[in-house]
Amino acid sequence: MESSCPAVAIIGSGISGLAAAQQLYRQGIRNLRILEATGRTGGRIWSQEYGKGLVEIGAHWIHGPSTKNPVFQLSSQYDLLDPGSMSEENQLVEFDSPLIFSVTYSSSGKKINCETVSDVGKMYSSWLHKSKAFTHGGCGPHNSVGSFLKQEISGSYHDWDREQVDLKMSLLNAFLKTECCISGTHSMDDVALGPFGEYTTLPGLDCTFPRGYESLVNQIKLSLPNDIVLLNKPVRTVNWKGSFQGQDSRIYPVKLECENGETFLADHVIVTVPLGFLKECADRFVCPTLPYNKLEAIQNMGFGTNNKIFLEFEKPFWEPECYVIQLVWEGESPLVKSQINLQQDWIKKLSCLFVLQPPAQIGHVLCGFIAGNESEFMETLSKEEIHSTMTNLLRRFTGNPNLPPPINILCTHWHSKPYTHGSYSYVAVGSSGRDIDILAQPLPEKGDPSKPLQVLFAGEATHRNFYSTTHGALLSGWREAERLINHYSGLRSVGNWSKL
C-alpha cells in the first residue's frame, strides 16, 4: 500500500463497489480496501450451477444492451457476449413494451387465444406508456402508477365485447403482476406516478451472459490486486468526522468497525450497501448519524422483493419455440381488491415463467418470477412445499393432471438475506427522484468545514435514471470514483496528495 496516497475503503463488493475500485486503481489511487459482508463477491450478480449449466440467482439480463449501456460496453470489450447480442441489429431494437408471451394458460387449464392476449397486451402497453408522461406534473388525482392504470381500465372496458370483459380483466391482472416483478414491488399502487418516467430505457434487445453474469464481475476483479477484497467483513459502524490515529501516525477522519471488532481507517469510504440494508439500520450504521434529509430519503424510497423459482424438467412440456409462459387466474380483476390468504394464495402472484436458453446447454429449465409479500412469504416455505405447489399449479394450468413433476427446484431468498433485504429499488409513492439524489450526496454536506468527501454513496438505488439495474449500479460506482479523482486531480502528477 502507498501510504502517501489517500486511503479509500469501499463497503460492498457488488458491481458498484468493484467498478469504483477499478476506476480508482486505474487512476493511481491504490491504497484501497473493499470490505464485503458475505463470503462471495458480486452481490446481486450471482451465477450458480444448476441443471446442466448455470442460472442467475440475481441479475439475469443486460437491459438495453447498446452503446450507452456501460455494462454492455464493458462486457463486449471483455468478449463475454454472444456475437448475436452484440450485433448492430440487436442494439437498435427499441424495447418499451410488455413481455411477449409465447403461450398463455388460464386457471381452468385452457390456452387463451393469442390474439386476445396480444390485443390486451397492446392496450396495457399504451397505458403504461402514458403513465410515464407525468415527469413534469399533471398527475391529477393519481399518485401511483397502479391507480392511473386502473383509471384507464375503468374508462375503457365499457367498449369491450361483454363476453370478453372477464377474460380481459384477468389478463390485465396478470400483466400487472408481471409489472410488479419488473418494478420489484408488491403492488403498482406503491409505485409513484410522477417520477415513473424518469427511469430511462435504453435501446437494445435484452441479452444474457453465456458464461454467467458473474463472468463480468470476475473480469473486473482480474484488473485489481487479489488482496483488495476482504470477504466476511460485515461493517457494523461507519464512524466519520473523527480523528483516528493510524499505525503510520497519520490522522484519519473515517473508522470502519466490523462485526468481529476489526477496524479499518480511511480518508474516504464509498458505501455501496443495498437500500434494503440501509432501511433496516441506517440510523445506527453511520455515526454521527446521517443528516435528517438522508434518513428521510432512505425511508421514503421503495425497495421490494422479486424472487425466482427455477424448475428443471426431464422433458419439456412446452413447444420448442416457446420462450415465456403466462399464467392467468380467471375471475381476477385489477378493479377488484381481493383479500389474500398468503398460505393458500401466495402462488397466485406468479404470472410468468421463462424458458431458459439454450436448452442444449442448461437443460429443460423454467424460471418463474414472483414479487411482493407473496414472494417474501415463499421464502418461509420448504423446498418440498414449493415443489408440490408448483407441480399442482402447472398441472392445473396445462390441464394435464399427469404432468411429471420437476426433477429439481431452486428458489431465491432475496428478502431473507440480511445484507440485501430485498431485490432492488423503486420510486415509491411519497418519494421522488430528488430522494435518489439526496441519497447520492456525499458527506459532509456543502458548507460543513470538516474534511470533504468522507462518506460517499453508490449502488443502484443512487442512480436517478437507471436505478434497479446493473448499469445504474456500475455508473454510480464510476461516479463516486470520479468524484474522488476530481478532488485530487492535478495533485497526483507531482506525487503530492496534500489535500489529505
Ligand X SMILES: Cc1cc2nc3c(=O)[nH]c(=O)nc-3n(C[C@H](O)[C@H](O)[C@H](O)COP(=O)(O)OP(=O)(O)OC[C@H]3O[C@@H](n4cnc5c(N)ncnc54)[C@H](O)[C@@H]3O)c2cc1C
Number of residues that bind ligand X (CB under 6 A): 39
Judged by beta carbon, residue 173 or residue 420, the one nearer ligand X is 420
Judged by beta carbon, residue 95 or residue 113, the one nearer ligand X is 95
- For ligand X, the binding residue among 6, 7, 13, 188 (CB under 6 A) is 13
Q: In whole angstroms, how close is the CB of 134 to ligand X at the nearest point?
A: 24
Q: Annotate each residue in 49-88 with x if it binds ligand X (CB under 6 A) or - if it does not, as one string.
A: ---------xxxx-x-------------------------
Q: In whole angstroms, how close is the CB of 181 to ligand X at the nearest point?
A: 9
Q: In whole angstroms, how close is the CB of 233 to ligand X at the nearest point?
A: 6
- For ligand X, the binding residue among 235, 325, 371, 429 (CB under 6 A) is 235
Judged by beta carbon, residue 153 or residue 180, the one nearer ligand X is 180
| Residue with grid cell 427499441, as numbered in its chain | 94
Residues counted in the chain: 500
Judged by beta carbon, residue 12 or residue 406, the one nearer ligand X is 12
| Spatial separation of the C-alpha atoms in residues 353 and 118, rounded to whole Å | 17
- For ligand X, the binding residue among 98, 234, 316, 359 (CB under 6 A) is 234
CA dist list (Å): 179 to 71, 146, 335: 23, 10, 16
| Interactions with ligand X, residue window 124-163 (CB under 6 A) | none
| Interactions with ligand X, residue window 16-55 (CB under 6 A) | 16-17, 35-38, 43-45
Q: Annotate each residue in 458-477 with x if it binds ligand X (CB under 6 A) or - if it does not, as one string.
A: -xx-------xxx--x----
Judged by beta carbon, residue 106 or residue 307, the one nearer ligand X is 307
- For ligand X, the binding residue among 15, 117, 192, 282 (CB under 6 A) is 15
Judged by beta carbon, residue 119 or residue 379, the one nearer ligand X is 379
Judged by beta carbon, residue 119 or residue 198, the one nearer ligand X is 198
Q: Annotate each residue in 255-284 with x if it binds ligand X (CB under 6 A) or - if it does not, as one string.
A: -----------------xxx--x-------
Judged by beta carbon, residue 398 or residue 470, the one nearer ligand X is 470
| Spatial separation of the C-alpha atoms in residues 13 and 273, rounded to whole Å | 9
| Interactions with ligand X, residue window 398-457 (CB under 6 A) | 412, 414, 419-420, 423-424
Judged by beta carbon, residue 172 or residue 427, the one nearer ligand X is 427
Q: Does 203 bind ligand X (CB under 6 A)?
A: no
Q: In whole angstroms, how close is the CB of 458 to ligand X at the nearest point?
A: 7
Judged by beta carbon, residue 150 or residue 177, the one nearer ligand X is 177
Q: In whole angstroms, how close is the CB of 270 to ligand X at the nearest point?
A: 11
Measured CA angle at 471 (ends 59, 485), to 5 deg: 135
Q: In whole angstroms, how close is the CB of 54 to ligand X at the nearest point?
A: 14
Q: In whole angstroms, how close is the CB of 123 to ligand X at the nearest point?
A: 26
The footprint of ligand X (CB under 6 A) covers 11-17, 35-38, 43-45, 58-61, 63, 234-235, 272-274, 277, 306, 308, 412, 414, 419-420, 423-424, 459-460, 468-470, 473
